């Protein structure tokens, strides 16, 4: 046999061997792996920052690296353990907190766990932020490592304003927005907060702070006044936190683990929530069920996508296809639309809204809002049957903006590159980034914005059973917390994903204890999609969050050039 022939046989053999390994791995993870040996009565949950709303459960992701659990898995695991007589207690290890709304959902699950008569312990090496400490206080006991601290020192929101940079680069931002609270373009147009922008941000911070104070006060058996006093004294060294009754005691992790082992009388009592879920799924694999459709990311026309800098795009075609699949499947009795989006393209938002209206004609559609469901994110929720948000969810922002960054001087005076253009049609250069809007172009843009704003308000009023004049004062581009939105009739109920699924099950006609199938849409990506996504996440991890946010907005502008945007007013980066 020739050398080339031997090499070919070797490659074939390696390919077959790799395929065999993959098939074994797939089979292993599809059946959930071997059952855990012996009873392990303590559920172990670790939280270290933002939680993905959903994570592909496919076997390929299992093989190539799971990553951490998603929010849904955390909630499902804690809820299953709450009802499981074999689980005695829970150990929560907190490094940092996810977004405010996600934190509230996990806190609610932990509180329900304790209400079942089971014990819970939170351990943190150092609760460096108010959110991390707030999350830990949901447990019956809070333990802090001796060198750690409690970062209870208030809330701060920071916004990058880019006008000074653009001036230096000779870039002229030309943006129009409806109305005074629609601040998303302010980061390009201004050097500081406008009065309306500052008012909205103070209102958001104040509402979240009140929830923070009230939750800590109830959990630690302190008065609200005492918690406010402590906030102004923080951050706290470990000994100071103990003296102030913010934590129950100081201990290292090995000491905490040893004490729990003694408490339950086992050397290996812990089962990680990821492993627990492999053998304690809450939902059936077939039969009648509920569709859970995720709309997570910035809204754009086309297919959903993972952007190179780590941002996700909610593609209208992808979500429409998921809604049609759920609508046409007779075994699906209700739909939950889970939204975590600051908005994006007006066209894409309205296309999805229309599909939601059509789906409602056949089966109930419940909207569940995550950390953010604002502007276009609110647009796709506003005509569902029932809207839920957490107290800290950022929602509303009923308004519109559009415009462009004029870069002609940048190219000519900074880079020396000169662009020339030839056109047919008076307004062919309207959205060109090289020249500013002329008088007629600017007038036309504002006419379009007025029309879209009226359309947004009118459809929101219809969805919320209000008149146009009743809803319009609640619009003006202003963002609200979930609590504020409930007071104003923009949502129906405070609650998270777990509660949304309960309502969907009720409206689908399922009994309270009846198990049902959960169809998660859109379907998990293929292998190449996952590999491409991982590459993007590696890049994103090397960049400051503010640059990722800016990059995501610029990607939407590039992808939907010439459109108007239902994009939320400045979203507070609270710490």
pTM of the full structure:
0.85
Taking alpha carbons only, the member of 370, 398, 368 closest to residue 499 is 368
Give the pairing of strands 249-250 and 141-144: parallel
Calculate mean pLDDT across residues 112-125.
95
| Rounded Cα–Cα distance for residues 434 and 209 (Å) | 44
| Rounded Cα–Cα distance for residues 215 and 209 (Å) | 10
Q: Is 338 helix (H, G, I), strand (E, B) or coil?
A: strand
| Rounded Cα–Cα distance for residues 432 and 319 (Å) | 30
Would the pLDDT of 104 be above 50?
yes
pLDDT for the residue numbered 570: 60
Would the pLDDT of 25 be above 70?
no
Calculate mean pLDDT across residues 407-435.
88
What are the Cα distances from residue 245, in Å, to 144, 236, 390? 12, 11, 28
Q: Is 324 helix (H, G, I), strand (E, B) or coil?
A: helix
Digit-coded pLDDT (tens) for 213-263: 999 999 999 999 999 999 999 899 999 999 999 999 999 999 999 999 999
Chain center to CA of 188: 24
Q: How many CB atoms lie within 10 A of CB 393?
A: 33
Concatenate the DSSP letters of all residues of 271-288 into one string.
EEHHHHHHH--SSEEEEE
Taking alpha carbons only, the member of 488, 455, 486 closest to residue 473 is 488
Calculate mean pLDDT across residues 175-195.
88
| Residues annotated as catalytic (active site), given as ranges | 375
Contacts of 555 (CB under 8 A, 6+ apart): 298, 307, 309, 311, 313
Contacts of 65 (CB under 8 A, 6+ apart): none
| Rounded Cα–Cα distance for residues 516 and 199 (Å) | 45
Q: Where are the alpha helices (DSSP H) in 180-310?
A: 186-189, 195-220, 224-231, 238-243, 253-264, 273-279
Domains and CATH numbers, the chain: 42-153+234-279 (3.90.226.10), 287-416+433-569 (3.90.226.10)
Q: State yes or no: cis peptide before 472, omega within 30 of 0.
A: no
- CB contact at 8 A, 152 and 132: no
Taking alpha carbons only, the member of 348, 570, 403 closest to residue 478 is 570
Digit-coded pLDDT (tens) for 393-410: 999 999 998 888 898 899
pLDDT for the residue numbered 541: 36
The dihedral sign for the CA sequence 291, 297, 298, 300:
negative
Would the pLDDT of 65 be above 60?
no
| Rounded Cα–Cα distance for residues 106 and 111 (Å) | 9
Calculate mean pLDDT across residues 480-506.
96
Calculate mean pLDDT across residues 537-541.
35
Q: The tokens 């995720």 sit on which residue?
A: 294
């Amino acid at each position: 046999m020739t050398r080339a022939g031997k090499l070919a046989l070797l490659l074939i053999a390696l390919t077959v061997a790799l395929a065999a390994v993959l098939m074994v791995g797939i089979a292993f993870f599809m059946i959930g792996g071997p059952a855990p040996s012996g009873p392990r009565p303590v559920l172990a949950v670790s939280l270290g920052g933002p939680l993905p709303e959903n994570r592909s459960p496919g076997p390929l992701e299992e093989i190539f690296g799971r990553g951490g659990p998603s929010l849904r898995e955390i909630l499902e695991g804690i809820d299953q353990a709450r009802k499981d007589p074999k689980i005695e207690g829970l150990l929560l290890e907190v490094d940092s907190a996810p977004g405010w709304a996600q934190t509230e959902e996990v806190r609610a699950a932990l509180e329900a766990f304790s209400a079942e008569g089971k014990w819970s312990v939170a351990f943190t090496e150092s609760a460096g932020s108010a959110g991390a400490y707030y999350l830990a206080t949901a447990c019956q006991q809070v333990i802090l490592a001796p060198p750690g601290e409690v970062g209870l020192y208030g809330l701060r929101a920071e916004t990058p304003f880019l006008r000074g940079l653009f001036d230096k680069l000779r870039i002229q931002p030309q943006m129009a927005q409806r109305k005074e609270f629609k601040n998303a373009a302010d980061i390009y147009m201004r050097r500081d907060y406008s009065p309306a922008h500052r008012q909205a941000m103070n209102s958001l911070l104040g509402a979240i702070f009140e929830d923070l104070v009230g939750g800590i006060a109830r959990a630690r058996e302190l008065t609200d006044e005492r918690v406010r006093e402590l906030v102004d004294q923080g951050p706290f060294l470990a000994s100071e936190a103990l003296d102030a009754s913010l934590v129950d005691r100081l201990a290292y992790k090995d000491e905490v683990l040893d004490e729990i082992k003694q408490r339950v009388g086992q050397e290996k009592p812990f089962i990680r929530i990821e492993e627990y879920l492999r053998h304690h799924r809450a939902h059936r694999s077939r039969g009648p069920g509920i569709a859970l459709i995720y709309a997570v990311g910035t809204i754009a026309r086309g297919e959903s996508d993972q952007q190179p800098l780590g941002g996700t795009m909610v593609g209208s075609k992808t979500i429409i296809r998921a809604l049609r699949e759920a609508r046409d499947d007779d075994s699906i009795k209700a739909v939950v639309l889970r939204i975590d989006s600051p908005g994006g393209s007006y066209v894409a938002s309205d296309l999805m809204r229309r599909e939601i209206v059509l789906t409602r004609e056949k089966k109930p559609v419940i909207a569940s809002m995550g950390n953010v469901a604002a502007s276009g994110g609110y647009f796709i929720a506003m005509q569902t049957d029932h809207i839920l948000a957490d107290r800290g969810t950022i929602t509303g922002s009923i308004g519109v903006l559009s415009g462009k960054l004029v870069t002609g001087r940048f190219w000519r005076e900074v880079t020396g590159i000169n662009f020339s253009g030839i056109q047919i049609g008076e307004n062919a250069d309207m959205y060109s980034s090289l020249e500013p809007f002329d008088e007629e172009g600017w007038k036309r843009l504002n006419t379009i914005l007025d029309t879209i704003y009226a359309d947004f308000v009118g459809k929101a009023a219809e969805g919320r059973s209000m008149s146009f004049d009743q809803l319009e004062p609640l619009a003006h581009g202003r963002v609200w917390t979930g609590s504020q939105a409930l007071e104003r009739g923009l949502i129906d109920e405070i609650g998270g994903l777990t509660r949304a699924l309960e309502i969907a099950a009720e409206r689908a006609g399922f009994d309270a204890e009846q198990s049902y199938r959960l169809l998660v849409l859109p379907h998990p990506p293929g292998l190449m999609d996952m590999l491409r996504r991982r590459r993007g996440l590696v890049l994103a991890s090397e960049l400051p969050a503010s640059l990722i946010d800016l990059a995501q907005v610029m990607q939407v502008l590039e992808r939907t050039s010439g459109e108007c945007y239902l994009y939320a007013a400045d979203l507070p980066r609270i710490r």
